[in-house]
Amino acid sequence: EAQVTQNPRYLITVTGKKLTVTCSQNMNHEYMSWYRQDPGLGLRQIYYSMNVEVTDKGDVPEGYKVSRKEKRNFPLILESPSPNQTSLYFCASSRNSPGLVLSEQFFGPGTRLTVL
């Protein structure tokens, strides 16, 4: 089954404790992206990657890191989480840059992160 998986699905942590949210896709997609979704603010892009070893900042990259060492994986790293990073996080993948014709973006199930 074609899918995007994220782990963990739920995480409660404390300020300053480094964490990683994993993302994996099995569709051989080149483009992967991380979003955060907050009430009243909608979906905002954190980082994206157009291919292996190619990453770039989205709209809200502060406090986050990413890496793309393999095509299928795109982990999101919070080196020193803070309470304002409490949010619902989505990983997404698409064959090419989303918005291009026939480049549907597939979303993972989400990771709900709480930073105390």
Partner 1 sequence: QKEVEQDPGPLSVPEGAIVSLNCTYSNSAFQYFMWYRQYSRKGPELLMYTYSSGNKEDGRFTAQVDKSSKYISLFIRDSQPSDSATYLCAMSARSGGSNYKLTFGKGTLLTVNP
The residues facing 47 across adjacent strands are: 34, 57
DSSP readout, 47-93?
A: EEEEETTEEEE-S--TT-EE--SSSSB--EEESS--GGG-EEEEEEE
Cβ proximity to partner 1, 77 vs 107, nearer residue: 107
Name the one range near partner 1 by CB under 8 A: 13-21, 68-76, 78-86, 100-108: 100-108
Figure out which of the listed residues 50, 55, 77, 114 binds partner 1, where binding follows CB under 8 A: 50
User: How many CA atoms lie less than 13 Å away from 89 in the CB half-sphere?
Assistant: 31
Cβ proximity to partner 1, 70 vs 104, nearer residue: 104
Tokens 């990259």 belong to which residue? 61
Tokens of 19: 């964490």
Helix count (H) and strand count (E) of the chain? 0, 11
Figure out which of the listed residues 7, 55, 98, 114 binds partner 1, where binding follows CB under 8 A: 98
Find the binding residues for partner 1 in span 52-91 (CB under 8 A). Answer: 56, 90
Does 45 sit near partner 1 (CB under 8 A)? yes
Cβ proximity to partner 1, 5 vs 13, nearer residue: 5
CB 111 within 8 A of CB 21: yes
Name the one range near partner 1 by CB under 8 A: 19-27, 48-56, 67-75, 76-84: 48-56
Cβ proximity to partner 1, 19 vs 88, nearer residue: 88
